[in-house]
Amino acid sequence: IRLDSSNKQNLDALRRLGLGNIVNLPLYSDAPLSHYDFIVAGAGSAGCTLASRLSENPKWSVLLIEAGGVENWIHQVPVLAAHLQSTASNWNYRSTPQRNACWGMQEKKCALPKGKVLGGTSSINYMIYNRGNRREYDGWAAAGNPGWSYDEVLPYFLRAENAQLRGLEHSPYHNHSGPLSVEDVRHRTQIAHSYIRAAQEAGHSRVDYNGETQLGVNYVQATTQKGRRHSAFRAYIQPIRASRKNLHIVTLARVTRVLIDNATKTAYGVEFTHQGRAYRVKARKEVILSAGAFNSPQLLMLSGIGPEDNLKAIGIPIVKALPVGRRMYDHMCHFGPTFVTNTTGQTLFSASIGPPVVTDFLLGRSDTFLSSIGGVETLTFIKVPSAKTAKGLPDIELIQVGGSLASDEGTALTQGANFKAEIYEKMYKELALQQQDHFSFLIMDFNPASVGRLWLHNRNPLEWPRIDPKYFSVPADIEHLLDGIKEALRISKMPAMQAIGTRLLDKPVPGCEGHKFASDDYWRCSIRTMSYTLHHQVATCRMGPESDPTTVVNHQLKVHGMRRLRVVDISIIPRPSTGHTNAAAIMIGEKAADMIRSEWS
Ligand SMILES: Cc1cc2nc3c(=O)[nH]c(=O)nc-3n(C[C@H](O)[C@H](O)[C@H](O)COP(=O)(O)OP(=O)(O)OC[C@H]3O[C@@H](n4cnc5c(N)ncnc54)[C@H](O)[C@@H]3O)c2cc1C
């Protein structure tokens, strides 16, 4: 951004970046040199982790390039998670119009937010800390990825973690000395306590879902520190920024291409734009793409590495034909059902955030409702009759949230998800007007059969790739969510929930009024309408052996057929995961740092 007062667009961009961000920017914008040992493109969950670990070696120089700015204090207030989606810290992607999903969204386009800030998506996410199931990682290893079994990745989850979790002080599944703070959420509603009891009455055991067994229920674990967001930036970059002279960081800089010697298929640098100037910086050792599940594949394709037909169609010369972006999995959810209760003052409405709460939060109290991670309170991992996953592997997660679109009166959550205004108006507005206590579920499918894809529609590096997740293109995915909804309804009828007068919100979903309310067909319609992704897109640069024609990188995360080029972020995850993806991205950054260290030391 050039500070040109006559340029309205620039001023608008500055306004959206916010004052705190502008104040921080000079601290995180080094003048780039011509050469570094390692160049990391993208400073998100994985990129911050990797750059921080690589620069621990004082003999290595590392350049970290980030398209966005720097976090400010708003990012640190957990309850404001949804609001960050309407700031410049969000790339604000949209899917192509969906045939089978997102009917409740404007133009049937699902919102696909991604973090555009130092810290990446860890700086705008909902802070749920969840690693995934042992069987999942063992499956990665069995598919030709040595080194990625659960026993081999667990040390990297642990290396990252600084857990402050009550009752788990001596668990072998938690570490207390890593950079990333993981805590209990101190603010808990009476509804959450009742729900935990009810889930147990319904037969779900109380578990540490990051421990030995995942199936069961518990309060959420969060990547917060004393009740404030602890992003990859806060954990890995901020603490070492002043002392680590061999780590250079350039913010508001957009990588546009990897420089490749076509004869030897060797990556030797990157091109990027920064403050209106184009730069070429060279890497003595490696170029590493950590630009996330949409932008790492975009950068590969812009550099001539991708599907032949796509690149030919837009006139990019082929360096290496690979199925980049040809697969994309995601965790689609159903937003709802919502239940009202006869409690009072338990559900957070943004209108009730007054000066005393803000003062308490600023003074360091971590149990005010500003520390609530966007309202998420408990997680239940279940197996449903329609899914056919292996024994012990959950297929559905019930994410219980204090509130709904009513919590912020139809503003940030509604806009962030691209919901049509009528969804709030017809279903939720009355709850907001009456300040009626209530809670909702997000029912999430861990193992969807629908496979999406991503491609380039032109050569402009500043334009979005096209993203078609093809949600619910396999009808069985709807049946899994329907089973999940039925389980949520069953738990709502347990004595502990009935003791607080829990009843289903009976306002029909707009567009589904033709079906008998709460019948299976009504829920199927609701699933297609209130489709809400949890933004866990993976596999766009899928990891696997070169003999597998669906893969892009090998088990060392090196791009097949290329030299000195790796991808280190969640785009390498080979199949839909059984966890939320931030912890996995950080684990991937930690593990990649070890692999690179052992290769170059
Ligand atoms: C709204 C939301 C809520 C979520 N909630 C949770 C949650 O509660 N728990 C959880 O575990 N997961 C959650 N996730 C998912 C999780 O946060 C992400 O999967 C994870 O952070 C991805 O890490 P990454 O390193 O792969 O990519 P990112 O963190 O997205 O990092 C990519 C970085 O690269 C930068 N970049 C991209 N292109 C360029 C370029 N051309 N030049 C320079 N820089 C570039 C981006 O700006 C970004 O900073 C959520 C995601 C979203 C969107």
Dump the DSSP string for 168-220: -TT-TT--BSSSEEEEE-S---HHHHHHHHHHHHTTPPB--TTSS--SEEEEP
Query: Ligand 1 center to residue 112 CA distance, Å?
Result: 11
pTM: 0.96
237 lines ligand 1 (CB under 6 A): no
83, 174, 560, 580: which one is catalytic? Answer: 580
Note the ipTM here.
0.99
**In this predicted structure, which of 3-7, 112-116, 586-590 has the lowest mean pLDDT?**
3-7
For residue 162, give the amino acid letter.
N
**In this predicted structure, which of 158-167, 201-210, 409-418 has the lowest mean pLDDT?**
409-418
Task: Pick the closest to residue 131 from 586, 580, 592 (CA basis).
Answer: 580
Pocket test for ligand 1, best of 125, 234, 289, 566 (most atoms within 8 A of CB): 125
Pocket test for ligand 1, best of 121, 251, 275, 580 (most atoms within 8 A of CB): 121
Q: What is the DSSP string of 508-555?
A: PPTT-TTSPTTSHHHHHHHHHHSEEE----B-TT-B--TTSTT-SB-T
Dist CA 411 CA 405 (whole Å): 8
Residue ranges covered by each domain of the chain: 186-219+331-450+469-533
- 573 is written with which tokens? 């995850």
Does the pLDDT of residue 10 top 90, yes or no?
A: no
542 lines ligand 1 (CB under 6 A): no
CA-to-CA separations, 241 to 41, 73, 226, 575, in angstroms, rounded: 18, 18, 21, 35
524 lines ligand 1 (CB under 6 A): no
Q: How many helices (H) and strands (E) does the chain have?
A: 17, 25
Task: Pick the closest to residue 390 from 546, 575, 572 (CA basis).
Answer: 575
Confidence class of residue 299 from pLDDT cuts 50, 70 and 90?
very high
pLDDT score, position 13? 63
Cβ neighbors of 207 (< 8 A, separation 6 or more) are: 213, 214, 215, 216, 217, 218, 381
254 lines ligand 1 (CB under 6 A): yes
Task: Pick the closest to residue 23 from 71, 55, 62 (CA basis).
Answer: 71
67 lines ligand 1 (CB under 6 A): yes
Residues 383-389: what's their mean pLDDT?
Answer: 85
Dist CA 50 CA 48 (whole Å): 6
Task: Pick the closest to residue 599 from 573, 571, 563, 574 (CA basis).
Answer: 563
Chain-centre distance of CA 59, in angstroms?
33
Q: Is 536 tagged catalytic? A: yes
Does the pLDDT of residue 53 top 50, yes or no?
A: yes
Beta partners for 328? 452
Placement of tokens 């991670």 in the chain: 373
Three-state DSSP class for residue 486: helix
Dist CA 106 CA 95 (whole Å): 11
82 Cα nearest atom in ligand 1: 1
23 known member of a binding site: no
Dist CA 354 CA 76 (whole Å): 18
Does the pLDDT of residue 6 top 80, yes or no?
A: no
Q: Which CATH architecture has domain 186-219+331-450+469-533?
A: 2-Layer Sandwich (3.30)
Query: Ligand 1 center to residue 292 CA distance, Å?
Result: 6
By the 10 Å C-beta count (0-12 exposed, 13-18 middle, 19+ buried), 263 is classed as exposed
Residue 40 CB neighbour total at 10 angstroms = 35
Confidence class of residue 5 from pLDDT cuts 50, 70 and 90?
very low
Kindly state the DSSP code that residue 470 receives in the 8-state scheme. Answer: -
539: left (phi over 0), alpha (psi -120 to 50) or beta: left
> Each residue of 136-154: b (16+ CB within 10 Å) or e?
bbbbbbebbbeebbbebbb
126 Cα nearest atom in ligand 1: 8
Our CA angle for 308, 567, 225, nearest 5°, is: 140
Pocket test for ligand 1, best of 49, 118, 275, 581 (most atoms within 8 A of CB): 581
83, 536, 555, 560: which one is catalytic? Answer: 536
45 lines ligand 1 (CB under 6 A): yes
Task: Pick the closest to residue 289 from 267, 321, 262 (CA basis).
Answer: 267
Cβ atoms 591, 156 nearer than 8 A? yes
pLDDT per residue as tens digits for the range 174-198 = 999 999 999 999 999 999 999 999 9
Q: Is 580 tagged catalytic? A: yes
253 Cα nearest atom in ligand 1: 43
583 Cα nearest atom in ligand 1: 11
Does the pLDDT of residue 17 top 70, yes or no?
A: no
Query: Ligand 1 center to residue 440 CA distance, Å?
Result: 25
Q: Which helix (H) or strand (E) holds 296?
A: helix 292-302
41 lines ligand 1 (CB under 6 A): yes
Does the pLDDT of residue 4 top 70, yes or no?
A: no
pLDDT per residue as tens digits for the range 397-437 = 999 999 999 999 999 999 999 999 999 999 999 999 999 99
84 Cα nearest atom in ligand 1: 1
185 lines ligand 1 (CB under 6 A): no
Cβ atoms 111, 467 nearer than 8 A? no
Residues 110-138: what's their mean pLDDT?
Answer: 97
70 known member of a binding site: no
Q: Which helix (H) or strand (E) holds 441?
A: strand 438-445
Query: Ligand 1 center to residue 536 CA distance, Å?
Result: 9
pLDDT score, position 12? 64
Residues 470-484: what's their mean pLDDT?
Answer: 97
Query: Ligand 1 center to residue 121 CA distance, Å?
Result: 3
CB under 8 A, 24+ apart: contacts of 491-496: 491/195, 491/198, 491/199, 491/202, 491/204, 491/380, 491/398, 492/198, 492/339, 494/197, 494/198, 494/199, 494/201, 494/202, 495/198, 495/201, 496/194, 496/195, 496/197, 496/198, 496/201
Query: Which residue has its alpha carbon closest to ligand 1 atom 28?
Result: 44
Query: Which residue has its alpha carbon closest to ligand 1 atom 52?
Result: 125
The more confident residue out of 237 and 88 is: 237
71 lines ligand 1 (CB under 6 A): no
- 591 is written with which tokens? 């593990």
Dist CA 457 CA 448 (whole Å): 27
589 Cα nearest atom in ligand 1: 25
pLDDT score, position 356? 84
Query: Ligand 1 center to residue 460 CA distance, Å?
Result: 22
Kindly state the DSSP code that residue 97 receives in the 8-state scheme. Answer: P
Dist CA 77 CA 149 (whole Å): 35
Confidence class of residue 15 from pLDDT cuts 50, 70 and 90?
low
Does the pLDDT of residue 385 top 90, yes or no?
A: no
Task: Pick the closest to residue 34 from 257, 283, 281, 287 (CA basis).
Answer: 281
Query: Which residue has its alpha carbon closest to ligand 1 atom 4?
Result: 125
Tell me the CA end-to-end span of the chain in Å, nearest whole number. 38
Dist CA 264 CA 261 (whole Å): 6
Cβ atoms 216, 398 nearer than 8 A? no
Confidence class of residue 2 from pLDDT cuts 50, 70 and 90?
very low
78 lines ligand 1 (CB under 6 A): no
Sign, Cα dihedral of 85, 218, 190, 442: positive
Residues 545-569: what's their mean pLDDT?
Answer: 98
Cβ atoms 111, 414 nearer than 8 A? no
324 known member of a binding site: no
Query: Which residue has its alpha carbon closest to ligand 1 atom 41?
Result: 255
Placement of tokens 């749920």 in the chain: 128
43 lines ligand 1 (CB under 6 A): yes
